[in-house]
A and B are shown apart, each in its own frame.
Chain A
Amino acid sequence: MNGLLRSLRLLVLRAWLPIGIVVAWWLVSATSTSFYFPPLQEIFLEIWNQWILGPRLVSDLLPSLADFAIGFFTAILLGTVIGVLIGRSAIGQATVAPIINFFRALPSPALVPIMLALFGIGPNMNIAVIVVGAIWPTLLNTVDGVRALDTQVREVTRSYRLTRWQTVSQVVLPSAAPQIFAGYRISLQIAIILIVVSEMVGATHGLGYQVIESQQLFRVTQTWAGTIILGVLGYLLTSAFLLVERRVLAWHVRMRIATGAG
């Protein structure tokens, strides 16, 4: 009962300010006649009628989510696999280091014009941009995590003659998992930015496309609506990721609590 009460209290603490802001916004804007600051009620109606119950769910929202998902998961899968290969090879690391360092420093939206030229307008370009832009944090963190494998753990693994596959899947990856997931988290942020930016510049439908188009056509309510949806989606995706991370790394969290160490 105490736990439930505590969770409830935490929920209230976290929720009161956002809800308060929304309510304040609603009330302040209710009588607004400003063109660029429509009543929040209208914005919510737009969201509800067009994006949740309406046609845009299927024509724009879901396709964007799908492209994002394909891009993101491809990026982290490639990043992890290549990261493990490079991390286990000293020669690999030396060879690839300059290339990686170049791309990790490049701001990811800067990739969009080139990708546009290479892939043209459309989902292929969006996905390609996400993959090329979001792979780096995962790749780098995976290499670091793999390299940092405790020498004695490595010796234990060798002394028990584990196969290469066993070593990577049962020892190396779990050991590096905290660091790899930190990489995933940053890759997620970049992927979210890139799906929006690439759709604003090179798409014919989708969430990002709708936001920029409504802005160019001065449909302000729709611009607000799209932006709010983007924000909420980003928040939901990040929260979902954190839930998964906490589940996968449960052993790590509990161990740190138990031993009071990192």
Chain B
Amino acid sequence: MSESPILELQGLRKSYGRSEVLADVDFAVHRGEFVCVVGPSGAGKTTLLKCIAGLIRPSGGRAVFEGEEVSEPPARLAVIFQDYSRSLLPWLTVEKNLLLPLKKPKFPRATRARLIEESLENVGLSGKGRLYPWEMSGGMQQRAAIARGLAYQPDVLLMDEPFAAVDAQTRIDLEDLVLEMRRRLDMTVLFVTHDIDEAVYMADRVIVLSGAPARVARDIRVDLPAERDQVRTKNLARYGELRAEVFELIQAAKQAANTGRIPAP
């Protein structure tokens, strides 16, 4: 982590007309880090992620990915979207879905099948490649979407509230899956979520956004043991402290937003 950051946000701003969604967002992500971004609902987390992913152009400031300013979707970045049912293509099998982004000179034909197979294995979907997305459960579909991102061999994985649309049990499995995957493949992950428990459980750092217009309220280093466990980690006193800290920041952010909206007498 002594080298320059793999991703850097410099004064990022985004407005839609007169509504300012992001105001001066500044932070950096280093190679190998797992960074979670949390904030109150509607704070602009998804907007932030789309600016980083090159899907939206910022109104001011910039996102710098691997030393280059982001103006279009970067090649070494993969995004996992929240709604898996609108993310995987229903006219293709899972295999073909994973294959589609690989049909580029960057991925020689001979290696594509192997990449797909390995990715499916990494997310626990071995042998399920011939299924169509709508033949699988929500959790499996999201795994398939993650597998597609992995097969793409990105340097950074952006995840936009990927587990918001699955049930709690599945969410637990998927959280641990992502952690395991990241450990094994040494991935850099930027993970947006509204779930505070999830953010503290998974992250090396938690970036708390203020309410709209969003800026970084605090950048918290999560000093929990690297080995995370759903029961042991969440029983640690330190986990509770960190969780409380994030919770209070978000409550304050919500308050500020609410107070700000009451018109002055």
Determine if chain A interacts with chain B.
Answer: yes
Interface residues of A (CB under 8 A from B): 150, 152-153, 155-156, 158-162, 166, 170-171, 174-175, 177, 251-252, 254-255, 258-259
Of B73, B91, B134, which contacts A161 at CB under 8 A?
B73
Contact call A153/B86, Cβ cutoff below 8 A = yes
What residue in chain B is nearest A161 (Cβ atoms)?
B73
Q: Which one, A155, A251, A252, A254, contacts B81 given CB within 8 A? A: A155
What is the CA–CA distance of A255 and B131 in the complex, to the nearest angstrom?
12
A163's nearest neighbour on chain B, judged by CB, is B104
- The answer to whether B87 touches A258 (Cβ under 8 A) is no
| Contact B73 A259, beta carbon cutoff 8 Å | no
Is B101 part of the contact surface with A, judged by Cβ < 8 Å? yes
Given contacts A251-B90, A259-B134, contact A158 B55 (CB under 8 A): yes
Q: Are B79 and A159 in contact (CB-based, < 8 A)?
A: yes
Contact at A152–B87, with CB atoms within 8 Å? yes
Indicate which residue in A159, A170, A177, A252 contacts B78 across the interface (CB closer than 8 Å). Answer: A159
A174 to B103, CA, bound (A): 17
B100 touches A255 (CB 8 A): no
Chain B residues close to A by CB (< 8 Å):
50, 53-55, 72-73, 75, 77-79, 81, 83, 86-87, 89-91, 100-101, 103-104, 132, 134-135, 152
- CB-CB < 8 A to B104: which residues of A? 161
CA A13 to CA B42, docked complex, whole Å: 58
Q: How far is A258 from B134 in the complex, measured between Cα atoms in Å?
A: 7
Pairs across A and B, CB under 8 Å, 20 listed: A150-B86, A152-B81, A152-B83, A153-B87, A155-B55, A156-B81, A156-B87, A158-B55, A158-B73, A159-B73, A159-B77, A161-B101, A161-B104, A162-B101, A166-B100, A170-B100, A251-B132, A254-B132, A255-B90, A255-B132
A160 contacts across to B, CB distance below 8 A? 73, 78, 100-101, 152
A150 CB → nearest B CB, Å: 5
CA distance A153 to B75 in the complex (A): 18
Name 12 extra pairs, CB < 8 A, besides A171-B89, A254-B132. Answer: A153-B87, A156-B87, A158-B54, A159-B54, A159-B77, A160-B100, A162-B101, A174-B89, A175-B89, A255-B90, A258-B135, A259-B134
Which residue of chain A has its CB nearest to the CB of B89?
A: A171
Beta-carbon contact of B87 and A166 below 8 Å: no
Contact A166 B103 (CB under 8 A): yes
**B135, A161: Cβ atoms closer than 8 Å:** no
Chain B nearest CB from A29 CB (Å) reads 51
Measured CB to CB, the closest approach of chain B to A148, in angstroms, equals 13
CA distance A158 to B81 in the complex (A): 13
Give Cα distance in the complex from A259 to B104, angstroms: 33
CB-CB nearest in chain B for A258: B134
A155 neighbours in B (Cβ, 8 Å): 50, 55, 79, 81
B189 to chain A, nearest CB (A): 16
The smallest C-beta distance from A137 to any residue of chain B, in angstroms, reads 23
Given A152-B87, A153-B87, A251-B91; A159-B132 close (CB under 8 Å): no
Decide: A252 near B91, CB < 8 A? Known: A160-B101, A166-B103, A170-B100: yes
Which residue of chain A has its CB nearest to the CB of B87? A156
Smallest Cβ-Cβ distance to A153: which chain B residue: B86
Q: Whole-angstrom distance between the alpha carbons of A177 and B54 in the complex? A: 29
Report the 4 A-B pairs with minimum CB-CB distance, sorted nearest first: A160-B101, A152-B86, A174-B91, A159-B79
A159–B54 CA distance with the chains assembled, in angstroms: 8
Contact of A255 among B53, B55, B87, B134 (CB under 8 A): B134
CA distance A142 to B152 in the complex (A): 31
